[in-house]
Amino acid sequence: MESILPFHIHSLIKLLLFLTILHHLQPEASSSGPSPLPKEALPTKSGYLQVNSTTGSAIFYTFYEAKQPATPLSQTPILIWLQGGPGCSSMIGNFYELGPWRVSSNVSVEPNPGTWNRIFGLVFIDNPIGVGFSIAASFEEIPRNQRGVAKHLFIAIKKFIKLDDSFKTRPIYVTGESYAGKYVPAFGFYALKKNAKLPVSERVNLVGVAIGNGLTDPITQVATHALNAYYSALVNDKQKTILENLQKNAVELTENRNWSEATNARSRVLDKLQEMTGLATLYDLRRLTPYQSELVAEFLANAEVKKVLGAEENIVFEACSDVVGEALQEDVMKSVRYMVDYLVKNTQVLLYQGQCDLRDSVVSNEAWMKKLKWERIGEFLEAERKVWKVNGNLAGFVQKLGSLSHVVVLGAGHLVPTDQAVNSQAMIEDWVLEKGLFANEQVISEIYSNLKGSL
């Protein structure tokens, strides 16, 4: 998720001090009882993937092998999850959204019926360095742009693949939500470009990318909030005009490449929308209280949990890091749509949104999708939007053509797997396996032709 905390202008000294405190040795309350993470909930592998051997900066990960793989493990897909922010930990995704065990309101874990590792391997990565349990040796080393983020991710994921011989042949799908609407395309773009220069044995076997409620093309997306709120009956005409003026300012600052001020201008749009609507959260217009992702931070503050996960015990875990948010302040309004242009021509792409998210909404994502520089975008926009059902119940809508799939998930906000666990599981499984509404239209055509010929 995008960090709920607003950006602030800090001095470098204050940032470095905060980062020092974040990683400084602090006394932990000892756990006298059994670990709150039962043995059956432990990851298959977890720990650190070093991205800089000189400084020691490293990315933290947890990996859960497929529970019921439908193929030999050497062929079983691996999903990689990246959280948003910028600066939020993928442990939110792990323990609050799509991991095999979720933190409940009493800060204990319970099985997740919609986990994404039912038939696939699943990796959660704390990205960039300095986020969650990941280690940033210095503030200066935290990436300032998506190329820097992608470079670290490529190093870390290649090291992860080397942990097990079977990983080398397994298809990899990189997924994520919110600000990962930038991380995911950035990694995909970087990986495919690097792969072209590497021998087959050294490549990352990237097959597809999936983005949920993403911030991908901010200049386009920021200009949609007023109309979206107006036609959702959340603001009146006068308020719409006020929002439009704020949006115009954000767009102008972005066009002038005044990146930091453009980021602040976008925040003013969202703050004003929050004020006007009085909603508990823009992440889900239905909610009377915000998402309880802070439960993850409370759970991961436990020293025993840190120990069994293989996390550095001296790190004070935060769900979202202000320090990393500050490092990427000038990156927020920069578009990565051109990276999706490249990916949709070279791999599978899934874009999905929860129906009730106002922050990175269906409307805002459809606005930038229309601008894709892809030879089939006209066909895609004319493709049938099909009713999608899971277990006989309406789950949303799917539009697919070739390598591009778009899904609207009903009854969900920003955190789709939290709100619709089983449906999100069905979505990701069918997309990866190209089943149901996600089946390749060429395959369907061939099946139809064969059936017709046999009549």
pLDDT, residue 315, reads: 93
Name the E strands within 391-447.
393-401, 404-409
300, 313 in Cβ contact below 8 A?
no
CA–CA separation, 313 vs 316, rounded Å? 8
Burial of 155 per CB tally in 10 Å (0-12, 13-18, 19+) = middle
CA 212 to chain centre: 6
Active-site residue identified among 46, 178, 321, 335: 178
Active-site residue identified among 322, 357, 360, 419: 357
Long-range contacts at 433-442 (CB < 8 A, ≥ 24 apart): 437/386, 437/388, 437/398, 437/400, 438/398, 438/400, 438/405, 441/400, 441/401, 441/402
Sorted by where each starts, the structural domains of the chain and their CATH numbers stand as 12-218+292-445 (3.40.50.1820), 220-277 (no CATH)
Q: What Å distances lie between residue 70 and 76, 210, 289, 417, CA to CA?
A: 7, 21, 39, 22
Active-site residue identified among 284, 331, 414, 430: 414
Is 165 noted as a catalytic residue in this protein? no
- Paired residues of 387 in beta bridges: 397
Amino acid found at 149: V
pLDDT, residue 36, reads: 83
Q: In this prediction, what percent of the chain has a pLDDT beyond 90?
A: 86
CA–CA separation, 319 vs 415, rounded Å? 15
pLDDT, residue 442, reads: 55
pLDDT, residue 27, reads: 37
pLDDT, residue 444, reads: 40
DSSP single-letter state for residue 243: H
Q: Work out whether the CA dihedral 251, 255, 256, 261 comes out positive or negative.
A: positive
CA–CA separation, 314 vs 23, rounded Å? 6
Q: What Å distances lie between residue 138 and 23, 183, 318, CA to CA?
A: 10, 21, 17
Low-confidence ranges of the chain (pLDDT < 50): 3-33, 443-455
Is 357 noted as a catalytic residue in this protein? yes
Q: Which helix (H) or strand (E) holds 321?
A: none
318, 45 in Cβ contact below 8 A?
no
CA–CA separation, 187 vs 138, rounded Å? 23
